[in-house]
Amino acid sequence: MDQATLKDHLQRGKLGFIGAGKMAQAIAHGLLNKDLVSPGDVYASAPSDNNLKFWRDKKMNATHSNDEIVKNCDIIYLAVKPQYLSDALSKISFSKEQRLFVSIIAGVTTNSLEEILGSLVPSSRVVRVMPNTPMLVGSGCSVFCAGSSSTKQDTLLVKAMLSELGLCIEVKESLIGPAGAISGCGPAFMYLLIEGLADGGVKMGVPRDVAQLLAAQTMVGAAQMVLQTGRHPGQLKDEVCSPGGSTIAGVNALEDRAVRSAMMAAVEAATLRSAELGKKK
C-alpha cells in the first residue's frame, strides 16, 4: 500500500486510541508529522487528564470515554497496560459496527482479544503490534501479527501505517514476545549503553554534551553499518579491532563484564515479564 492510498484510507475514517500514554502519543505524533491524518480525525481516551494534555495541545480530540472512541473511530489502537484492559473495555457499550482494533498491549494474545471484544463489538477484527517509542522521530521498529478475524486489507493497512514511522515486519504470534522485547524494550537498553559510553568519555575528560553527542551518533553509525552492509556485527567488530590496539582492549573490558550475556538476559527477562503481565489482564 503506497502513501497516497494509505492517506486516502485514513482520511475516510477516524483514528482512535484507548490509552493516551507515550506509545500512543508516539504513533499519533508520527502520523501527524507525515500528514497522513488530520488532528480533528484523531481521538484519544484516558481516565485522567494527565496524558490528555498532549492530545489537546495538538488539537486532537481528547475524552475520558472509551465508548466515545469506539463510536467515532474505525481504527482503534488499544494502548492501555495489560492489567487495565478488562476495566478499559468494560466502559464500552455493545456495537454492531465493524471496527479494526490494533493492540499494542504486551502479552495479550489475539485469541484473548477476539474473545473479549467479541461480546462487545462482534464484528471487530484484531491485529497485534509491538511498536517502540522511536516512532516519535520516524525511526521506529515494529513487529505485528494478524488475528484470525482480520483481513488481508487490515494487515496491509497496519503495516503501511507503521512503516511510515520506521521498520515494520510481520512475524508469527509465537515470536511477538521475544521480538517485541528486542524492538519494544530495546531502546531502553540502548539508552543505557549510550549513557555508559558517554559517562566513560566524561570520566576521561570529555565534556558531557560532547560525550553524549559522540556516543549517540556512534550508535546510529554502527547500526547503519549493520543494516546497510548486511554483514554480521561480529565481522564489523573485528574490522575495528587492530592487533594490540585500543579497541580490542576496550572489547576485552566489555567481555570481562559479560556485556553480551547481560543483553541476552535482558531480552529473556523482558519476554518472560511480558507474558506474565498478559496473564494478569
Q: Which parts are annotated binding residues for NADPH?
A: 66
Q: Which residues are annotated as a binding site?
A: 18-23, 66, 79-82
**Closest Cα partner for 58 from 37, 79, 84, 77?**
37
Tell me the HSE value of 202 on the side-chain side, using a 13 A CA sphere.
Answer: 11
Buried b (16+ CB within 10 A) or exposed e, 61-90: bbbeebebbbebbbbbbbbbebeebeebbe
CA dihedral 125, 130, 135, 136 (to 10 degrees): 90
What would the grid cell of residue 277 be?
503481565
* Residues flagged as binding site for NADP(+): 18-23, 79-82
